[in-house]
Structure 1
Amino acid sequence: MNNSDPDTYPQQTSESEKLDLKTKLAFGAGDLGPAITANISIFFLLVFFTNVAGIPAGLAGIILLIGKIWDAVNDPFVGVLTDKTKSRWGRRLPWLFYGAIPFGVFFFLQWIVPRFSSNASVNFWGVFWYYVAIGVISQVFYTVVNLPYTAMTPELTQDYDERTSLNSFRFAFSIGGSIVSLLLAKVIFENIADRQQQYLVLAAICGVISVLGLYWCVWGTRDRIMAFEGKRTQTEESAPIPIREQLKIVFSNRPFLFVIGIYLFSWLAVQVTASIIPYFAVNWMRLKESDVPTVLIGVQGTALLMLFVWSALSKRVGKKAVYFTGMSLWLIAQIGLFFLQPGQIGLMYVLAVMAGFGVSTAYLVPWSMMPDVIELDELQTGQRREGIFYGFMVLLQKFGLAFGLFVVGMALEASGFKEAVSGQSALPVQPDSALFAIRIATGPLPTIFLICGLVLTYFYPLTREMHAQVLLQLKERQNKVENRDF
């Protein structure tokens, strides 16, 4: 199957294979909800557990890890189920439509501090298991909406450079949504004194925005997706492959292994840095809690601006060169943060901007590589199986988040970090050992992950020329099928 055939989309030519602005905007809006909720969780959930709910840092990390272990089970299976879904709206859109509202509701429920008993010990463990249960359910609905969404990319266009442009819109909404949520957090933190109320209001607003963004995506892309599905169901004739055999094929796809490795290490660096920055800014740099969103906006704002620059540049020099350039600047920033001293606020913002250059490539490049890998798999197997590939991609994103937060939580616990007492306004003073652990998690640890990602990128085997050859062979195969049917 090859969607560059002019009959696939009557209003477009195989030479252009371009998407109109309306479709790109609608597709981008689909990542608004998952991005906002994921970023709020990255930046604030560990802090919320330790400084509002009064949960020790180690146990807080365990709560997050339990949810992601469940994701390791459900992500690939949801991916396979979306590949098998049959609907007049295609394979992906029904999942977004029906999953949007539960997704927003269970995200909000994560930010409640329940009270189960007047007995402190009983109440503590009740709160712990509440967050475990809500976290698991919340991650299920995150998978239900986000995995089918990410699998839509190769269904909207097969053009090598157009996919990079499409992902630019996606991550413009993703990072833009993150910036909006951080601006909301800053306004809310400055105007609401009670910490628990701060997070409840922030979660409620972000939950509503998330649901609306998903519905925008469904309605704005359905015509394009339905046209793709109509063509796919006419030309795809290969017999279904059992799930176990699909897993074997996925992990025998050598470029795919490189892409998930690049993405895993990039995302680990993002998650660890994002989760530790609130502690770094408040405990080491001695900023106010309301100043934390401003620091994060410095990173995310730069990443947003650079998305379209990197996208345009990748057409000239290629995805690998763009990744190397952005990551090199990010490495310098991470090393600089470790040596930063309290009071060097201006330099801190300069380093935050430098980090943003690299963060944007961590978003853009691995995701724009994925559709190319899927087409190679289609050439080898005769089937389009976006769901299972993106299932493992989303699994790694969540694993990166969970593992990063778990490592940070355990490191803080081991270093003697003092969690806040629930209901108390003043934060405890941290010992020197905890401050040093915060600095290690801010600088050297993400640096190691970034270097590993650079090594894998250097050896990534699927070039622009190879991808063009894959598309040519897919086109020849489709022509044979059409000529035989004729």
Structure 2
Amino acid sequence: MSANILPGALPTRIKVAHGAGAVALGIKEAGLTTFFMIYYNQVLGFDPRIVSLILIGAMLVDAMVDPLIGRLSDATRTRIGRRLPWLYGAAVPMAIAWALLWMSPDIAAHSTLGLAFNVIAVRILVSACEIPSISLVAELTRDYDERTALMRYRFLFGWLGGLVATALAYGYFLKSDDPAQNGLLDPSGYSAFGLFGAAMILVSTLGSALGQHRRVVALPPRPPVQRHGIAMLADILLAFRNPAFLALTSGALFLVTSYATSIAATNYMMLYVWRLTDDQLAWYPAGLALAVFAAFLAVGPAHRRLGKRDTAVAAIAFGTVVGFLPYAARNLGWWIELGSWPSMALLLSFMTVSLFGMIVATISASSMVAEIVEAHEVEHGTRIEGVFFSGYLMTQKFGQALGIFLVGQIIALSGLGERVRPEDLAPGTATGMAWTFAGAMVLISIMSALLLRRYPIDRASHEARLAALASTGGAAADSQGPRP
């Protein structure tokens, strides 16, 4: 075992502390995905096309910055740990930027450029915490299953952060006392929502850093790494030439596109295809939470039995088939009465099981990044955890942007006009929308599974690399100092 990793199983408190670092990401995703558009469009009066461009543009800028953050975090050497200074330094400005995004119209409503900078700042600051934090997965342990455990806790806390923020938004912050007034259209609730999210971001990020502090500081030191631009660029290009990394990121691109398309299209499908009421829609988060907890419990045993790659591929196939069935049944006339409570219950059951498969696949794919670190170390003698994890996150952001774009195309192809009530929609339009969405999801998922099948690292090959590194002392290049 390399001297760079402390031996032994990780205590549960370390897993919990590490997972807490993902709360900020969950809150950011929930806020920008669910509430940002309606706040800036319907409440503050921004053109929806401008809001969409700001979201996608900020996402792309953030994605391009990710490898730089990853490489800089790899080069960070301080008395308080290799990655932790990023969490300590970004926590306060990240919380402030998030709160400003939801402040009163007097601050935000009159400046499109200011809004764009605010969104970009939020995304980059979250990345400045998320990338160093998730890179610790490969530093805290080299054990195949312990890394799975770390990723399980990260996804659990990330999802819980988003779910708590969403549930409180609907049930408290954005709930109107006046039955005639829709709380989603009242600007006053958004300020409280933003301040609550900022507090959660600050506490969880600093709590995660403090909870891991002693463990990270105890990791044996590494020699300094060159920081100049040529060395940084060389490491980034080297990572993206790694065959295992290319297989993983190409498959993950379609996996994230599938998930992002599903989430972004949820409201359209629920309203126009399935004719659900507001009361019925309120049950959707419950199914989401059930899928998250089930995936948290199932992914560890699945990895021990099937391995990470095969678990991801099987989960994609399972989730895709289950997700396709209700759309096929509806369009073929085999479904029960649309809009009824039995219809809602049956649909939610299918959606929960399908989402369970997609979450298991996502956790598995994310966990596969860590093993690439040792594959690179064996071949090149250096460890660049931050570069690999940031490159993976960059791919995820491209997938999210592609998912948002695809939903727009699906709606356009379906011919859905503006301000159309579900009961006024022609039956053929809803059927066409259902077939287009379900067919796109199947094709995207097939591409994801086929590409992930090319990922070559399994438990046996990983353990063989660990043995090889142990025989040579590990981290060969680190022992030699900086590269020229």
Please state which band the TM-score falls in when normalised by the shorter chain. 0.7 to 0.9
Q: Provide the residue aligned with 1:232 in structure 2.
A: 222
Task: Quote the residue 1:182 is aligned against.
Answer: 166
- Alignment-mate amino acid for residue 391 of structure 2: F
Alignment of 1:20-419 (within 5 A): 20-55=11-46, 57-112=48-103, 114=105, 126=110, 128-188=112-172, 189-191=174-176, 193-195=182-184, 196-197=186-187, 198-228=189-219, 230-233=220-223, 242-289=231-278, 292-339=281-328, 340=330, 341-343=338-340, 344-409=343-408, 411-412=410-411
Partner SS for 1:90? coil
Distance in 2, Cα, partners of 1:362 & 1:479: 31
In structure 2, what is the equivalent of residue 454 of structure 1?
A: 449
- Give distance in 2, aligned partners of 1:131 and 1:364: 32
Contact kept, 8 Å, 2:2 with 2:474, in 1: the verdict is no
1:120 alignment partner in structure 2: none
Aligned partner of residue 104 in structure 1, secondary structure? helix
Counterpart secondary structure, 2:105? coil
SS in 1 for 2:283: helix
State the alpha-carbon separation in 2 of the partners of residues 199 and 419 from structure 1: 25
Structure 1 residues 25, 441: CA separation in 2 closer, same or farther (over 3 Å shift)? farther
The 3 A distance-change label for structure 1 pair 441 and 174 is farther
Amino acid at match of 2:466: L
Q: Which amino acid aligns with 1:262?
A: G
Whether the 8 Å CA contact 2:249–2:392 is kept in 1: the answer is yes
Q: Aligned pairs, how many?
A: 460
Structure 2: which amino acid aligns with 1:36? Answer: I
TM-score, reference length from structure 2 = 0.85
AA matched with 1:463:
D
Q: How far, CA to CA, are the matches of 1:209 and 1:411 in structure 2?
A: 35
Moved more, 67-76 or 35-44: 35-44
Q: Which residue of 458, 470, 475 corresponds with 2:470?
A: 475
With 335-344 and 348-357 compared, the bigger mean Cα shift is at 335-344
Q: Which amino acid aligns with 1:81?
A: L
Residue in 2 that maps onto 1:2: 2
- CA offset at residue 253 of structure 1? 0.9
Q: Which deviates more from structure 2 when the two are superposed, residues 411-420 or residues 376-385?
A: 411-420
Q: 1:190 to 1:332 in 2, by over 3 A?
A: farther
Whole-Å separation in 2 of the counterparts to 1:237 and 1:130: 36
Q: Which amino acid aligns with 1:464?
A: R
User: Are the counterparts in 1 of residues 309 and 453 from structure 2 also a CA contact under 8 Å?
Assistant: yes
Distance of aligned partners of 1:435 and 1:208 in 2 relative to their CA distance in 1, 3 Å threshold: farther
Q: 1:84 to 1:429 in 2, by over 3 A?
A: farther
In 2: Cα distance, 1:76 partner to 1:300 partner: 32
Output the CA distance in 1 between the equivalents of 2:315 and 2:463. 26
What TM-score comes out, normalization by structure 1 length?
A: 0.84
Deviates further, 409-418 or 262-271? 409-418
Q: Deviations over 1:368-415 (max 9, x none)?
A: 111100111111221111111111112122222223223324554676
Amino acid in the other structure paired with 1:276: A
C-alpha contact (below 8 Å) 1:61/1:409 kept by paired residues: no
Moved more, 401-410 or 213-222: 401-410
Q: SS in structure 1 opposite 2:473?
A: helix
Within 2, Cα distance between the matches of 1:283 and 1:203?
A: 30
Distance (whole Å) between structure 1 residues aligned to residue 167 and residue 475 of structure 2 = 55
Could you say what secondary structure the match of 1:461 adopts? coil
Paired amino acid for 2:60: I
Q: Which amino acid aligns with 1:357?
A: F
CA deviation after TM superposition for structure 1 residue 346, in Å: 1.6
1:242 counterpart SS class: helix
Q: Partners of 1:260 and 1:304 in 2: how far apart?
A: 26
**What's the RMSD between the two structures over aligned residues?**
3.2
State the Cα distance separating 1:304 from its structure 2 match: 2.2
- Partner of 2:265, secondary structure, is helix
With 107-116 and 150-159 compared, the bigger mean Cα shift is at 107-116
String of CA shifts for 1:156-209, please: whole Å, max 9, x gaps.
111111111111111121222233223223313445543244444333322211
C-alpha separation in 1, matches of 2:227 and 2:176? 60
Quick one: distance in 2 between partners of 1:62 and 1:413? Answer: 17
Q: What letter matches 1:164 in structure 2?
A: T
The residue type equivalent to 1:147 in the other structure is: I
CA contact (8 A) 1:23 1:221 kept: yes
TM-superposed deviation, 1:99: 0.7
Q: Deviations over 1:57-76 (max 9, x none)?
A: 54433221110221233111
- Gaps spanning 5+ residues in structure 2: where? 331-337
Distance in 1 between the 2:326 and 2:44 partners? Answer: 29
Tell me by how many angstroms 1:445 deviates: 2.5
Aligned twin of 2:335: none
The 1:115–1:403 alpha-carbon spacing in structure 2 relative to 1, beyond 3 Å, is farther
Structure 1 residue 49: Cα displacement = 4.6
**Matched residue type, 2:222:** R
Task: Identify if the C-alpha distance between structure 1 residues 413 and 106 changes in structure 2 by more than 3 Å, giving closer, same or farther.
Answer: farther
Whole-Å Cα distance in 2 between the matches of residues 387 and 407 of structure 1?
A: 30
Q: Distance in 2 between matches of 1:2 and 1:141?
A: 32
Q: Is the 8 A contact 2:30 2:166 kept in 1?
A: no
Shift of 1:210: 1.8
Give 3-state SS (helix, strand or coil) of 1:87's partner: coil
With over 3 angstroms needed to count, the CA separation of the structure-2 counterparts of 1:128 and 1:402, relative to structure 1, is farther
Task: Give aligned-pair identity as a percent.
Answer: 23
1:474–1:34 CA distance, 2 compared to 1 (3 A): same
Q: Distance in 2 between matches of 1:435 and 1:113?
A: 38
The 1:286–1:428 alpha-carbon spacing in structure 2 relative to 1, beyond 3 Å, is closer
- Hey, what does 1:423 align to over in structure 2? none
